[in-house]
Structure 1
Amino acid sequence: MDGILLLDLLNLGWARIANPRYRNPKVNPKAFETEPGMFKVKPKTTVLIVITLLIIVALYVKFW
C-alpha cells in the first residue's frame, strides 16, 4: 500500500474517532423521514431508465 494512502486512511479513521458528533449522534426533529418504499420503482420504469442511459452512452461514443 502506498504511504500516502495509508496516511489518508489513518487520518480519516482518527477524525471519525476524535469527532464527538459520531459518538453521540443527535436526531434533527425537522429532518425529512424516509422509508425504503419511497424509492421502489416499477420494473417498467427501471427498463426505461436503462434504455435511456444506453442511448445517452451510444450518442456519447458516436460523437466522441
Structure 2
Amino acid sequence: MSGTRRERSATALHRRAHALAGRALVVAASRADTAAAILSAERMDAHAAALEPRELASR
C-alpha cells in the first residue's frame, strides 16, 4: 500500500472512530454515566488530534 493511500485510510479510520466516540458520548450523557462520558470525550480529542496536520521536525 502506498504512503498516500495508507494516510487516506488512516484518516478515514480516525474520522470514523471520532464519530463513534461522539455517539458513545451522547449515550453516556443520556444515561448520566460520567465515567463513560469522560472516556468518550477523551477518545474524541485523541482522534481529532490525530487528524490535525503535523509539522515535520527540523534539524
Identify whether the pair has TM-score above 0.5, normalized to the shorter chain: no
Mark the structure with the bigger radius of gyration. 1
Bigger proportion of residues as helix: 2
TM-score, normalization by structure 1: 0.35
TM-score of the superposed pair, with normalisation by structure 2:
0.38
